[in-house]
Amino acid sequence: MKYRTLPGTELEVSTVCLGTMTWGQQNTEAEAHAQLDLAVERGINFIDTAEMYPVPPRAETQGRTEEYLGHWLAGHDRDALVIATKVAGPGRRDWVRGGRTDLNKANIAEACETSLRRLRTDRIDLYQIHWPQRNLPNFGQTVFDPAAERDGPSIAEQVEAMGALVRAGKIRYWGLSNESTWGVCAFHHAAAQLGLPGPVTVQNCYSLVSRSADGDLAEALFRNGMSLLPYGPLAGGKLAGKYMGGARPEGARFTLFPAFGPRYAKPHVDDAVAAYDRLAKSRGLSLVQLAHGYVCSRWFVGSSIIGATSTAQLAEDIDATGTVLDAETLAGIAEIQRLYPNPAA
Is pTM beyond 0.75? Reply is yes
List of domains in the chain: 3-339 (3.20.20.100)
Crossing angle of helices 327-339 and 287-297, rounded to 10° = 90
- Asked if 205 and 263 touch (Cβ cutoff 8 Å), the reply is yes
Whole-Å CA distances, 46 to 38, 63, 151, 158: 13, 19, 35, 25
Task: Please list the active-site residues.
Answer: 53
- Pairing of the two strands 3-5 and 12-14: antiparallel
d(C-alpha 172, C-alpha 127), whole Å:
8
Provide the angle, in degrees to the nearest 10, between the axes of the packed helices 287-297 and 311-320. 50
Residue 77 confidence (pLDDT): 97
Query: How far is it, in rounded angstroms, from Cα 319 to Cα 292?
Result: 9
CA distance 294 to 60: 37
Q: What is the pLDDT along the chain (345 residues), one digit of tens a residue?
A: 999 999 999 999 999 999 999 999 999 999 999 999 999 999 999 999 999 999 999 999 999 999 999 999 999 999 999 999 999 999 878 889 999 999 999 999 999 999 999 999 999 999 999 999 998 988 888 888 999 898 999 999 999 999 999 999 999 999 999 999 999 999 999 999 999 999 999 999 999 999 999 999 999 999 999 999 999 999 999 999 988 887 888 877 888 888 777 899 889 999 999 999 999 999 999 999 999 999 999 999 999 999 999 999 999 999 999 999 999 999 999 999 999 999 998
User: b vs e for 66-83, b when ≥16 Cβ sit within 10 Å of the residue's Cβ?
Assistant: bbbbbebbeeeeeeebbb
Q: What is the b/e burial string over 31-58, where b = at least 16 CB atoms within 10 angstroms of the residue's CB?
A: bbbbbbebbbeeebbbbbbbbbbbbebe
Angle between helices 29-41 and 64-73 (to 10 degrees): 50
What is the rounded (10 degree) CA torsion for 83, 121, 80, 42? -60
* Cα–Cα distances in angstroms (integers) from residue 338 to residues 29, 133, 138, 211, 325, in the given order: 43, 34, 23, 12, 18
CA dist., res. 79 & res. 292, Å (int): 28
Give the separation between CA 60 and CA 208, rounded to whole angstroms. 34
3-state secondary structure (DSSP) of residue 206: coil
Rounded to 10 degrees, what is the CA torsion of 21, 344, 297, 218? -100
Q: What DSSP designation does 24 have? A: T
